[in-house]
Amino acid sequence: MINAKLILRCCAVLSVIGFLLAIVLWLQFRAENRALLDDALASARQISEAARDQIGGTLVRISREVDGTAENILRDGRPSEAKILAITRNLVYSDPGFQEAGVAFAPFAYHPRIRLYGPAYVIEKDGVSLKDLDANQDYTKPGSDWYHRPMEGSPMWLTPYFDSDRGHALATYGAPLRKPGHGNEPIGVIFATYTLGVFQRLLDSLDLGHNGYSFVLSSEKQFILHPNRDFSEHQISFDSFLARVASPRGVNSIETALRDPTSTATFVDPDTGLSSHMFFRRIAATNWILGVVLADRDVLMPARVAHRKLIDIALIIAIAVVLLAIALARIDRDFNRGLWIVSSALAGSFILVGMFVIALAIRQQLPNGDNVTRITNWNSLNRFTSQQRRRTLDQREEVPLFIPTGIYIQSAFLEDASTVGVNGYVWQRYTKGIHDGIQRGFIMPQAKVSTITRAYTVEDGDTELVRWNFNAAVHQNFDYSRYPFDSERVIIDLWHKEFTKNVILIPDLASYKLMSPAAKPGLFE
């Protein structure tokens, strides 16, 4: 009897120890993930603040250049046409980001016999051209904000807009022209239009993980820069983005972060479907806002490690439950009843643990593929091309040729245990002067059977875009050891037709709306 009571007490003590150990391990697990997230957020804040300062510094420099030019034009009274053209031309040539620069005088302000005078230099595909604003439009009529708003007396950045011809957003800065000694009434404006494509390339180069990204909002809370060009091209409002966030708590969290730059929002990104964090930074010289999204998947503990720790915790809890059942069942008084209780607790605990393990297996991500280089943004692409250049120069003493290539999968199906049938199309961008003498085309080395047909070729300036349709049966090395809880990655190898000539295919990032792997770019759904 004494031994039985001692055993029951030991079981009770061990059960309590087990529960306490599970709690400690759970808290440790949460703390490790929290530390990883905090470190990633701190790094992202540092990176984004550097980008914000670079964008803000560029905008301040541009505004000072335009303001200084405005003072210089009228410094000696009414300037000659030659002086105006020279100063304006120097302004548009002062920075490769300028797309247009010009002046526009109020009616009869430049000359008593000339109603309107507005020369402007414009950067076009074939060079710089001079145009007369007054010849094509009466800019004094409503609708010409670039003229009317600076004429109110204050220099300012106007709301950016997307230029479909240039393929990126533009922003115009305007400043009033005042004649010295004639009061504060403006007699015209000077303006300069700057490409925001420079800033988009900067944002694309930020290292925010495979699924993270950044964007810029205008003062009207519209997207002016975003990795998905549709956001800026159609000037989608941030409110429409919030409307797609499923959780009201996530919406409130984002709105709080938007008001308070020191806070960070937690939400599920509607574009990637991933739990994410978002924070904002104000850009100097404008009311623009830089937003940064960091996906939890990219920064938290790897899934396999996390699942192993969670399974260990679940097993400890199951053992603790069984020990507690032994202690409470009082087998020493009623053996049959106690044995039934202990057996039920044992079976129930391990059934629940088994269900938990199955749930983790179902949620398990695809194989890590640690030997695969993942290119999801310009930062990882630039790192890859730099590594390939160094490696090739060391081995062959020649620079490799990189060809931007994209793929779109329209359908995929399992033909047998090791063959996947796929069809879709591939496109490549060749640059004249760089890819001259290189055959156009690609091969699929792992395909058992493939049919590749050239669809069309489009030439745009120095770029040649070629598209092929393909249908192939691709061999795969699937591992079914975890069936039916396995997930397999389909690998489609693409080589250039002349791969022996040191030609390397790289992803055509600019052609995809969003390169987050969770968004499944290049897949028809």
Cα–Cα distance, 514 to 31 (Å, whole number): 32
Domains of the chain: 62-301 (3.30.450.20), 378-519 (2.70.170.10)
Beta strands in 133-274 (DSSP E): 156-157, 161-163, 168-177, 188-195, 213-217, 223-225, 265-268
Kind and range of the H or E element at 500?
A: none
Q: Give the pLDDT confidence score for residue 183 in this predicted structure.
A: 72
Split at pLDDT 50, 70, 90, the class of 1 is very low
Choice between 384 and 481, residue whose per-residue pLDDT is larger: 384
- In the predicted model, what is the mean pLDDT of the chain? 86
Q: Is 186 helix (H, G, I), strand (E, B) or coil?
A: coil
Instruction: Please give the sequence-ordered ranges of beta strands (E in DSSP) within 321-418, or none if there are none.
Output: 401-416
Please list, in sequence order, all residues whose beta carbon lies within 8 angstroms of the beta carbon of residue 229, skipping any fewer than 6 positions away.
167, 513
Q: How many CB atoms lie within 10 A of CB 400?
A: 17
Angstrom distances, CA of residue 89 to CA of 128, 170, 231: 9, 19, 33
Q: How far apart are CA 119 and CA 88, in angstroms?
A: 9
More confident residue, 30 or 399: 30
Helix 81-93 / helix 2-73 crossing angle, nearest 10 deg = 160
DSSP H/E element including 456: strand 447-460
Range from 2-11, 122-131, 229-238, 496-505 carrying the lowest mean pLDDT = 2-11
The pLDDT tens digits for 294-353 are: 999 888 888 788 888 998 998 988 888 888 877 777 666 666 777 777 788 778 888 888
pLDDT in tens, 250-292: 999 999 999 998 899 999 998 888 899 999 999 987 889 999 9
Instruction: Measure the CA angle with vertex 439, ends 437 and 445; round to 5°.
Output: 145
d(CA 288, CA 218): 5
Query: With 70 as the cut, is the pLDDT of residue 409 above it?
Result: yes
Sign of the alpha-carbon torsion through 328, 332, 333, 339: positive
